[in-house]
Every structure is written in C-alpha cells, then in structure tokens.
Amino acid sequence: MKRIKLYIAMSLDGYIATRDGDIKWLSTVEGEGDNGYFAFFSSIDTVVMGRLTYEWILKNNTHFPYAQQKCYVVTSKKMPSIGNVHFIEGSFKEMARKLRKDSEKDICLIGGAQLFDGFL
C-alpha cells in the first residue's frame, strides 16, 4: 500500500515557519548534502499541500517545483484544476483513500500543522 509521508524541516525549538508563515529561514540552514531529500523525493509521485502553502510557493518561486508530480491542494474553496494541480476538499480519510488509489508511488505532505493534523 502506498504510504503518505512527511519530510519536514523543523527548528530545534519545534517550528517550521515564523508566526506569519514565512519559511525563508530554511535557506540559511547549512548542512552536508541534501540530507536524504533526493532519495525521498524519488520515492513519491504525488504531493499534497494546503492552499496557504500553495499560494506561498507561487509567490516565492520563479517556477513551480512540483510540476513533475501529481499535485493536490486541500482547500475549502471550489477551484478548477490548473495543469497538474488539482484542488480537493472533503474528509481527510476519503482524501487519503483516493490518493492511495490514484498514486503509483508514495504520497508526500507539504505544508503546515493543519494539513498534517488532518491526515493524522
């Protein structure tokens, strides 16, 4: 069965973003290599994120980094699909069932605590 995975960067005091949702602090982190991100990313073909994360990505990137994956944005607003990005709503249990059925590889959650909590 396909797994729903979370690969997350978090500060030592437990934060993934500033109070205003900014994650620019991640670009200042130094380390060796990619910390396993490339291997992780090759194990997935689907990404799921919240609407605020999606909007942040569009605002802060010159290109959409998930153009090669199936991308689902969890939102309470009805919105039409845009390319490989599909907007979904409903119960997290039903979303998880559908995502596992429709994906060939594992699924990655990208975003914040509300999304993670819903899938837990």
Q: pLDDT by residue (tens digit) across 53-69?
A: 899 889 888 899 999 99
Closest residue by Cα to residue 3 from 110, 88, 100, 119: 100
Please, what is the average pLDDT of the chain?
Answer: 87
pLDDT at position 3 over 80: yes
pTM for the full model?
Answer: 0.84
Residue 107 near residue 5 (C-beta atoms within 8 A): yes
